């Protein structure tokens, strides 16, 4: 049974075999929510376009002209900060419901507690797995917010640093992508395998690469390809541990967590 039919059936059951009008009203509500979603996407696109087409080039330009070029560190950090603004801006502007906020807060707390629980094993942490599952179940926007805030809040415990914006962006991006690439119908082994493959790629290819790039930009003025290769090579063992942890936690957490989140979504009508 697909989702819409399920919803209809639900509505039917709740109203005790109610009239068609109620079903029609539910349909109308759904259509309005979809229109809202489209509008939100449009706003996000416009804001991102303005930031990416106007702000980022102007930062690069100022960096080149005023700061005598090659201020890679501050320029790259400003670009990272700017590229997070559209997500937070749209989230803030649409005045999210209380239930969405509390649900996101619980997922953030889970990620933070998970990082703290496995703190004695270096890089072996469930943070990315929880962010991916959140993105898969609650959608790309919630995925981004959860990822970025998990990085931020866990750094309140483990120490903020110049790496904070980069971690926020990397984890947010992972949550965002998992929301776009997967829906919460991960029933077959094949789909779970695909999700784990994405998890491994996301930790090495996205998180690891962004964090290693951050190091190169912070340390060097004349950035060369050899430097990037050296940084990636030296970061690889840590990234591989992180990837193994992510795949491990995805394997054991995906099914139960998706079930629980699905139940909450169905029962309380949130994030649909």
Residues making contact with other proteins (CB under 8 A): 67-68, 71, 73-74, 77, 88, 91-92, 95-99, 101-106, 108-110, 112-113, 116, 145, 149, 152-153, 156-157, 159-162, 218-222, 224, 226-227, 230, 252, 256-257, 260-261, 264, 268, 270
| Residue 223 phi, psi dihedral angles, 5° rounding | -75, 130
Closest Cα partner for 210 from 250, 182, 177?
177
**DSSP code for 122:** T
> Closest distance between other proteins and the C-beta of residue 244, in Å?
17
> Closest distance between other proteins and the C-beta of residue 74, in Å?
5
145, 183 Cβ separation under 8 angstroms = no
Q: Can you tell me the distance from the alpha carbon of 186 to that of 193, in angstroms, rounded to the nearest whole number?
A: 10
* Closest to other proteins by CB, 91 or 182: 91
* Closest to other proteins by CB, 118 or 201: 118
* Closest to other proteins by CB, 50 or 116: 116
* Closest to other proteins by CB, 203 or 214: 214
186, 132 Cβ separation under 8 angstroms = no
Q: Copy the structure tokens of residue 253.
A: 């957490």
* Closest to other proteins by CB, 157 or 193: 157
Side-chain-side CA neighbours of 109 within 13 Å: the count stands at: 6
> Closest distance between other proteins and the C-beta of residue 178, in Å?
18
Whats the size of the chain, residue-wise?
272
22, 11 Cβ separation under 8 angstroms = yes
80, 166 Cβ separation under 8 angstroms = yes
* Closest to other proteins by CB, 19 or 224: 224
> Closest distance between other proteins and the C-beta of residue 19, in Å?
28
> Closest distance between other proteins and the C-beta of residue 207, in Å?
19
> Closest distance between other proteins and the C-beta of residue 51, in Å?
16
């Amino acid at each position: 049974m697909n989702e819409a039919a399920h919803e209809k059936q639900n509505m039917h059951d709740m109203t005790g075999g109610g009239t068609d009008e109620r079903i029609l009203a539910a349909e109308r509500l759904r259509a309005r929510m979809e229109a809202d979603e489209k509008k939100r996407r449009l706003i996000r696109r416009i804001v991102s376009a303005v930031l990416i087409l106007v702000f980022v080039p102007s930062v690069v330009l100022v960096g080149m002209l005023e700061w005598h070029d090659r201020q890679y560190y501050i320029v790259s950090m400003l670009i990272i900060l700017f590229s997070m603004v559209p997500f937070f801006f749209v989230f803030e502007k649409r005045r999210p419901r209380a239930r969405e906020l509390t649900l996101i807060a619980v997922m953030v707390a889970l990620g933070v507690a998970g990082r703290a629980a496995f703190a004695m094993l270096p890089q072996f942490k469930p943070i990315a797995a929880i962010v991916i599952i959140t993105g898969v179940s609650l959608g790309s926007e919630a995925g981004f917010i959860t990822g970025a805030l998990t990085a931020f809040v866990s750094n309140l415990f483990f120490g903020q640093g110049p790496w904070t914006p980069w971690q926020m962006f990397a984890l947010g991006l992972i949550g965002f992508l998992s929301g776009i690439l997967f829906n919460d119908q991960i029933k077959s082994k094949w789909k779970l395998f695909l999700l784990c493959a994405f998890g491994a790629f996301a930790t090495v290819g996205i998180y690891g690469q962004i964090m290693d790039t951050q190091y190169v930009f912070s340390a060097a003025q004349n950035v060369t390809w050899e430097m990037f290769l050296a940084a990636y090579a030296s970061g690889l063992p840590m990234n591989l541990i992180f990837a193994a942890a992510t795949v491990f936690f995805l394997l054991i957490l995906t099914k139960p967590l998706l079930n629980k989140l699905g139940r909450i979504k169905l029962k309380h009508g949130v994030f649909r």
